[in-house]
Chains A and B, each alone.
Chain A
Amino acid sequence: MTTDHRTRRNYLNANYSIWSWLFTTDHKRVGILYLLSVTFFFFIGGAAAVLFRLELMTPRGDLTLPETYNKLFTLHGIVMIFFFLVPSIPAVLGNFFLPMMIGARDVAFPRLNLASWYIFITGGLFTIWAIVTGGVDTGWTFYTPYSSTYGNTNVIAAALGVFIAGFSSILTGLNFIVTTHTMRAPGMRWFRLPLFVWAHYATGLIMVLGTPVLAVTLLLLILERALGIGIFDPALGGDPILFQHLFWFYSHPAVYIMVLPAMGVVSEIITCFARNRIFGYRFIAFSSLAIAILGFLVWGHHMFVSGQSMYAGFVFSFLSMLVAVPSAIKVFNWTATLYKGTVTWSTPMLYALGFIGLFTMGGLTGLFLATLAVDVHVHDTYFVVAHFHYIMVGGAVMGYLGGVHFWWPKMTGKLYPENWARFSAILIFFGFNLTFFPQFVLGYLGMPRRYHAYPEQFQVLNVMSSAGASILGVAYLLPLGYLIWSLRYGRRAGRNPWRATGLEWTTPSPPPTENFPDGTPIAGDAYQYSSVDDWDLVLPAPEEHPEEAAV
């Protein structure tokens, strides 16, 4: 045996040719392909945000034309939601780790998995084409009749891009559901599944059942614009509100597509770095399913002022508040897991704790918005913008970055520089709050969203927000830098740098193509953590695993 680890075969060095990546059916490589693509889209969407935050530094519109401003926030919304947030955790971390966590060699349909990436890229190219040939100004919501009849921007290409990308989401969700049902290793009973898997199972259900409704809605919009098949056209007796109903039937559950996987990530991180068994395993597991199901019943809270019936408003208001229950169950269980745990302030833990705080803020302000009378006041103001950014950025992006840091050593076999990572995690938390907290105040004071100019009394808060955004922008670039740096200069990670439980930590880092070189693992109970562990043993250290040497 030799300790020359460079010669050990793993999924990364199994084959270096470009074709071996473009035609791979290895779920880990598909995950990496998604990682590269969503990172690209994240910085495109981020660049748009930088531009309109610059514009909002001053009350008058002096940097961009109003039309350009509209296109910028539309671009930001479409790219961030459909091409970053929806695929981020599921398609990157879910693809990579869901099969490993249940002890499988791959997802149930590896070729479909690769196909989903190509579909995603095709949709992305359509959207980028729509952007570079003039842009879209409908907002990411594509509301009719502006999008179908009056708008004169590239609605068809952008909607087509989102329509196509939707199918990649459906295929990913389908793969997760079937993989969880059929590919579990011996002993991996349902209540031994890591909570990450439960969260992705619930996400898969939403992807499979919600996305097709958005797909057909956008298809109808495209048909209306291109061929005059006027389903939503008021001139023919069509109802533009019907578009909003169909749109939000997907797009509200889509919020849970973004945040449920992040909750799964946080469940893994909290229990690992508190050295404590997860509190209330079954409650967390079932609350994921409850969120997925309830999430389908609340879409009308986006339409309290759109002219839907008052009674529908009552019902949607009540149901929306119900979603807070399973969400709060998760937060309380994570907190209880921390209680009397041996907490370490590692980078993933910082992100996870940030998630809990910011998600709670976002969730509680969601209750404001679910309350009919309050919503009438703050509807379409920056209050709403702040609220959903606390959920999507404070929640989903924090969860994603926490997960990327948590599993980075497994994916690459390298450790990132811990202090840089902690610094940027704290910087992100700080920059995020400075960006979005002032927007709650702005919204409450009455500043409407989606305008490039505003009255002068709002300037101080807007400058604070823009300053926060610039900090946030730098803080997002840091991980890009040091993670790439770690690929070459990072210390070797060993199999299990965090001494985490879970089957994915029982294989070499990076894992070999077949995942478990010693044969299918046998699963035991999840989260066998004990706070009596000596944490000194847990700090990352270059481990020597002679058995991982070249075969």
Chain B
Amino acid sequence: MTMSVAHHFDDVEQQKHAATLGMWVFLASEVLFFGGLLAGYAVYRALYPEGFAAGSRHLDLWLGTLNTAVLLTSSLTVALSVEAIYSGNRRRAGYLLAFTIVLGIAFLTVKGFEYAHKYHEHLVPGAHFQFVDHAEGDAPPQGVELFFSCYFALTGLHAVHMVIGIGLFGVLVFELLREKGNAPSPLRIEVAGLYWHFVDVVWVFLFPLLYLIHVAE
């Protein structure tokens, strides 16, 4: 598979080095982006452990687990797609990426159902927030609304990143599967894949921090 070299690079090696390093540096930036929010989460969970556990009990563990499985599978299909394009199999790379998009949309759909459910239960922070926990009696523990603020901010930000990833893959799938025109550079798929793996890893942290913190009790 040949790659075209942009005018300001000397050779393919240099271009590849720059593109992958660029994505890694960007992901370092992203770590700090989520990091700021996770720092807030850590502070409030330390202050209000009961409130966070009570909030966590109101998340649907099964849907969260299902989504974790969906997202991990989507990372696998991306990795296979990169493998396919480097071995010259353009169509297979395209189908694998298309399947990744399907999995991504499935994840967002499940997330959407969860959000709708929270909305009906009045668990969206704001004027309509109302927390009723039958297991704990009628007085909601302090900090439970902060838990849901963290929940919506973290998962919402994560979902925005997924939408961007799906958009990136959409362009690549179009270029891979169209009849005419050059295939996209394998480098672009690899770098977009790197981004997707990062979004996946973020979820690997979010899932236990949001869904599992009450389980150990």
Contacts and interface: CB of A to CB of B under 8 A. Distances in A.
B112 interface: no
B32 A182 contact: no
B33 A109 contact: no
Contacts of A229: 125-126, 149, 152-153
A195 to B, nearest CB: 22
A170 to B, nearest CB: 5
B149 A174 contact: no
A182 to B, nearest CB: 4
Nearest to A174: B25
A228 interface: yes
Interface string A216-246: 1101100100011111000011110010011
A230 B18 contact: no
Contacts of A106: 7-8
A493 interface: no
A284 to B, nearest CB: 24
B30 interface: yes
For this complex, into which size category does the number of interface residues on chain B fall? 35 or more
Interface stretch (A207-215, A404-412, A537-545): A207-215
B126 A213 contact: no
Contacts of B30: 212
Q: Report which residue of A210, A216, A245, A520 has the largest number of chain B beta carbons within 10 angstroms of its beta carbon.
A: A216
Interface in B137-194: 142-143, 145-146, 149-150, 152-153, 157
A177 interface: yes
Contact of A213 (B35, B143, B152): B35
B76 interface: no
B57 to A, nearest CB: 18
Interface in B14-54: 14, 17-18, 21-22, 25-26, 28-30, 32-37, 39-40, 43-44, 47-48, 51
B8 A178 contact: no
Interface string A64-91: 0000000000000000000000000000
B46 to A, nearest CB: 11
Nearest to A211: B29
A108 B7 CA distance: 11
A210 B152 CA distance: 23
A209 B28 CA distance: 7
Contact of A238 (B7, B10, B146): B146
Given A105-B8, A183-B14, A229-B149, A237 B34 contact: no
A291 B78 CA distance: 40
Interface string A452-485: 0000000000000000000000000000000000
B127 interface: yes
Nearest to A207: B29
Contacts of A237: 44, 47-48, 51, 142-143, 145-146
Contacts of A216: 33-34, 36-37, 157
A228 B9 CA distance: 48
Contacts of B8: 104-108, 110, 183
A213 B32 contact: yes
Contacts of B150: 231
Interface string A92-116: 0000000000001111111010000
Given A182-B17, A237-B143, A249 B36 contact: yes
B18 A212 contact: no
A181 interface: yes
A178 B10 CA distance: 15
Contacts of A170: 26, 29
B40 A212 contact: no
Nearest to A184: B14
B16 to A, nearest CB: 9
B48 A213 contact: no
A12 to B, nearest CB: 19
Contact of B18 (A182, A239, A520): A182
B29 A208 contact: yes
A174 B26 contact: yes
Given A104-B8, A208-B29, A242-B43, A213 B18 contact: no
Given A170-B29, A181-B21, A228-B126, A212 B149 contact: no
B33 A212 contact: yes
A230 B146 contact: yes
Contacts of A183: 8-9, 14, 18
Contacts of B149: 229-231, 236, 238
Which of A112, A212, A239, A242 is the most central at the interface, judged by chain B CB atoms within 10 Å of its CB?
Answer: A212
B191 to A, nearest CB: 11
A349 to B, nearest CB: 34
A246 B29 contact: no
Contacts of B126: 227-230
Among B10, B22, B126, B143, which residue has the most Cβ atoms of chain A within 10 A?
B22
A58 B145 CA distance: 49
B29 A212 contact: yes
Contacts of B125: 227-230, 236
B7 A231 contact: no
A105 B35 CA distance: 35
A446 to B, nearest CB: 34
A106 B30 CA distance: 25
B153 A231 contact: yes
Nearest to B22: A178
Contacts of B9: 183
B29 A182 contact: no
Given A209-B28, A212-B32, A229-B152, A236 B40 contact: no
A242 B45 CA distance: 13
A303 B51 CA distance: 28
14 contacts: A105-B7, A109-B18, A177-B21, A181-B17, A183-B8, A211-B29, A212-B35, A223-B153, A230-B149, A236-B125, A236-B143, A237-B143, A237-B145, A246-B36
Interface of B: 7-10, 14, 17-18, 21-22, 25-26, 28-30, 32-37, 39-40, 43-44, 47-48, 51, 125-127, 142-143, 145-146, 149-150, 152-153, 157
Q: Which 8 A-B pairs have the closest CB atoms?
A: A228-B126, A212-B33, A106-B8, A213-B36, A216-B36, A105-B8, A108-B18, A182-B18
Given A181-B21, A212-B30, 10 more contacts: A170-B26, A174-B29, A181-B18, A182-B14, A217-B36, A220-B37, A231-B150, A236-B125, A245-B39, A246-B39
